[in-house]
Amino acid sequence: MNHLIAPSILNADLLRLGEVIAMLNESQADMIHLDIMDGVFVPNLSFGFPIIKQIKSVAGKPLDVHLMIADPNRYIERYRESGADYLTVHYEVCEDLAATLKRISGAGMKASVSVKPKTDVALLKPFLEYLDMVLIMTVEPGYGGQEFIETSFEKIRLLRKLIDEAGTGTLIEVDGGIGMDNLEQLRDAGANVFVIGTSIFSAENPLKMISELKNL
């Protein structure tokens, strides 16, 4: 399977959001990554339901919604109504992860869990059957433009092994500090989906950068 590119708009020019989405629609991006932050789980605030709904109304790609929020169970169905196609909750804030993942699938979305850099991926083994995707954070969640954490490679290799043994076909998504200089190594380690924000939106020509990343 060719690798998938999920541009994160957190660091895009939000004053020109309509143009940004139009560019992504035209690009080789496979989905649009939306970072939802509540100022509690992470020390930052991003965007809420009204903006997701407006993006959905013009997006030509699936919405990959990454919830960096406390107690995500409060809003699962509302994210579906707002247009989420993939919904990622953080392992660190789920009391009953299996129940949450089943609720996400039941609401008609792809179910995904994210782990922070210090969280062991082996903890996910009992949940793989409920997981369409796992998002491995390769930076501490909360901000775009951070340095890639090198120890992420061994986590990806271990998770790839667990998924292949389980035969669940769960996607591995990686997120934070990714670009032309490390995508291929991450793909070799077993990642399939690449969340990329700064490397795309700080490029001279984001459309061209997405094509280059897609065709590596």
In the chain, what is the straight-line distance between the N-terminal and C-terminal CA atoms, in Å? Answer: 13
Residue of 30, 85, 132, 175 with catalytic role:
175
Choice between 66 and 110, CB closer to Zn ion: 66
Could you say which of ligand DX5, Zn ion, none residue 11 binds, taking C-beta under 5 to 8 angstroms by partner kind? ligand DX5
175 is known as an active-site residue = yes
62 binds, among ligand DX5, Zn ion, none (CB under 5 to 8 A by kind): none
Shortest CB 84 distance to Zn ion, Å: 13
User: Cα separation of 87 and 97, whole Å?
Assistant: 13
Give yes or no for a contact between 132 and 106, defined as CB atoms under 8 angstroms apart: no
Which tokens is 54 given?
A: 């407006």
| Site mask for ligand DX5 (CB under 6 A), range 26-45, x = bound | -------x-x----------
* Catalytic residue list contains 13: no
CA distances from 118 to 76, 83, 149, 180 (A): 25, 31, 11, 25
Stretch that binds ligand DX5, among 78-86, 159-167, 169-177, 181-189 (CB under 6 A): 169-177
CB of 129 to ligand DX5, least distance (A): 25
H or E element that contains 110: strand 110-115
Identify whether the C-beta of residue 200 lies closer than 8 Å to the C-beta of residue 7: yes
Half-sphere exposure of 77 (CA within 13 A, CB side): 1
Helix (H) or strand (E) holding 174: strand 171-175
x/- mask, ligand DX5, residues 89-128, rule CB under 6 A, reads ----------------------------------------
Write out the residues near ligand DX5 by the rule CB under 6 A. Answer: 8, 10-11, 33, 35, 66, 68, 139, 141-146, 175-178, 195-199
